[in-house]
Amino acid sequence: MSAISWFDDFEGIAYRYYDLRMNIAPLVSSRKEYASIWHDTIRYWIDPTIKIRFVETGDKYWFIMGADSQKPESNISFFKLLQKSEHYERFKKGHGGEAYLRLGTYAHKSLKDVKKDALCNCGHEAVDHDENDNDECLYNKCDCKEFSSFQVNLLKRKKTITDIAFLDEKDATDDPLVKACFDANKSE
Ligand SMILES: [Zn+2]
Ligand SMILES: [Zn+2]
């Protein structure tokens, strides 16, 4: 078996409730990128072999995902070192041992693209941002200088994941997928 390629050229992970189960969705920047990742790789994954591993280190965590493929010659695995977030913590508590894997696309929206009640990344609505100047937030004490929101769109195709584990950093490399990932991608 040849060494598998590792892929980390995605923006992050969205964790959402959708269709009753939690969804894990690596975020890609375009439909085109979605098409190639889904159609060349994930489509061929054999659902019961899909594994996701989380290894926390301080306020970050490693996301590591791989599976056996019906097309092993072009298979890839995914990893990324990410910042912990509320969504991540909610997934950790609530996944119940299974999730749907989808892909998501994301778009940054600016003030002119959104309705008045759209939320900025600062937590305040578009209507609180100055439309004349440089879109700064007028909310008391907020130091946001420019309206910006991050909109995620989960795509329909999905796989079911039933092998999810959160591992301690000290014994994480007992797991073969984590070990393979760290050997290839973690420099120390
Ligand atoms: Zn703002
Ligand atoms: Zn604000």
Distance CA 169, CA 37 (A): 29
Distance 115 CA to ligand 2 centre (A): 16
What is the Å distance from ligand 2's center to 78 Cα?
A: 35
**Closest ligand to the CA of 118:** 1
Instruction: Give the number of whichever ligand sits closest to the CA of residue 120.
Output: 1
pTM recorded for the entire structure: 0.83
**Beta-carbon contacts of residue 133 (< 8 Å; ≥ 6 apart):** none
Contact criterion met (CB below 8 Å) for 16 and 27: no
Measured in Å, residue 148 CA sits from the centre of ligand 2 at 10
Q: In Å, how far are 96, 146, 153 from 124, measured between CA atoms?
A: 33, 11, 21
Distance, in Å, from the CA atom of 148 to the CA atom of 109, rounded to the nearest integer, reads 6
Rounded distance from Cα 91 to ligand 2 centre (Å): 27
Q: Are 133 and 56 in contact (CB under 8 A)?
A: no
Q: Which two tokens stand for residue 115?
A: 């309705």
- Rounded CA gap, 53 and 56, in Å? 10
Ligand nearest to the CA of 136: 1
- Report how far ligand 1's centroid is from the alpha carbon of 146 (Å): 6
What is the model's pLDDT at position 82?
96
Centre a 10 Å sphere on the Cβ of residue 42 and count the other Cβ atoms it contains.
23
**Tens digit of each residue's pLDDT, the chain (188 residues):** 457 899 999 999 999 887 778 999 999 988 888 888 999 999 999 999 999 999 999 999 999 999 999 999 989 999 999 999 989 999 999 999 999 999 999 888 888 888 988 889 888 999 999 877 678 999 988 999 999 888 888 889 999 999 999 999 999 999 999 999 999 998 86
* Ligand nearest to the Cα of 139, by number: 2
